[in-house]
Amino acid sequence: MKFEKKIFSSLKRKYEGFDRKREDMIRQTRSVIKLSKQVIYALHRRNYSDAKRKLGELKAAYRKLLTIAKEPQLRFSGNFRSAAQEFVEAVCFYELVSQEGSGALPDPSDLKVDFEEYLLGICDVVGELGRTAVHSVARNDLDAFSEIKKFVSRLYEALLEFDFRNGDLRRKFDSVKYTLNKLEDIELDVVMRKRNLLIEEK
């Protein structure tokens, strides 16, 4: 038997190089996730100027993440996919509720994410929309509530076309259904309160 130590010397260099990239990627995913949460928080506070500024930082951070995670082992790792999901959630939430947003969901190809990352992020957006809808009712902005509820209903209808099996996507899809049911309950409560007020006025 002949043992070639140089093979392992080469493997060690490759492993150490890959490990450095992996650590760089993990640090960058943390930055993407942090900025995503900051965008969403600013939007809930209706601080649209801050949300816009943070969104610019987020997009730059995600572009940097893409340049770091070029190898398939990095691009399809759990850390990257979690960051991509948070990125989708923040960008889509901004486009839907910000004063300067498009009012529509962006295409996944424009976000540089795969279909699963996009779907997971979209399902998470529904949770944020649910919170926004509740805040709208508290402000007595029933038009905004109605618009959100209608959007969530149409999104749920579109997702029903998918055959989600057990896993993250199935759990996220179930959360969309839960949010829609909650919005329908709120809508019914608003209608009943209006009806009771009309009866009292008579």
Q: Per the structure block, which two tokens stand in for 94?
A: 């901004």
Residue 196's CB is within 10 A of a number of other CB atoms, namely 10
- Same-domain status, 85 and 120: no
| 26 confidence band (pLDDT: 50, 70, 90) | very high
Q: Are residues 178 and 202 in the same domain?
A: yes
Q: Which amino acid is at 170?
A: R
Supply the range of the domain harboring residue 154: 114-202
Do residues 96 and 161 both lie within one domain?
no
pLDDT in tens, 33-91: 999 999 999 999 999 999 999 999 999 999 999 999 999 999 999 999 999 999 999 99
Amino acid at 125: V
Say whether both 122 and 191 belong to one domain: yes
| CATH number where 189 lies | 1.20.58.200
Alpha carbon separation from 100 to 13, 48, 53, 97, 159 (Å, rounded): 48, 8, 12, 8, 27
Q: Band of the pLDDT at 3, cuts 50, 70, 90?
A: confident
Residues 52 and 121 in one domain: no
Answer yes or no: are the C-beta atoms of 116 and 83 closer than 8 Å. Answer: no
C-alpha closest to that of 132 among 173, 72, 183: 183
Asked whether residue 14 is assigned to any structural domain, the reply reads no
- Other beta carbons within 10 angstroms of residue 40's beta carbon come to 22
Last residue of a domain, which of 55, 81, 104?
A: 104
> What is the Cα–Cα distance from 59 to 181, expressed in whole angstroms?
33
Of the residues 104, 133, 161, the one at which a domain ends: 104
13 domain-assigned: no
Q: Number of H helices and number of E strands within the chain?
A: 8, 0
Provide the sign of the torsion angle of the four alpha carbons 72, 87, 176, 147, taken in this order: negative
- Domain identity same for 74 and 137: no
Query: Which of these, 133, 54, 67, 62, lies nearest to 94 by C-alpha position?
Result: 54
Alpha-helix runs per DSSP H in 70-167: 72-75, 78-97, 108-111, 115-138, 142-159
How much of the chain, in percent, has pLDDT values that exceed 70?
97
Q: Are residues 92 and 135 in the same domain?
A: no
* 15 within domain boundaries: no
CATH of the domain at 85: 1.20.58.2140
Q: Quote the CA–CA distance of 89 and 117 in Å, as a whole number.
A: 10
Q: d(Cα 83, Cα 64) in Å, to the nearest integer? A: 12
Q: In the chain, how many domains are there?
A: 2
Of 104, 125, 158, which residue is a domain's last? 104
Q: Flag whether pLDDT at 28 surpasses 90.
A: yes
pTM: predicted TM-score of the whole model, two decimal places: 0.89
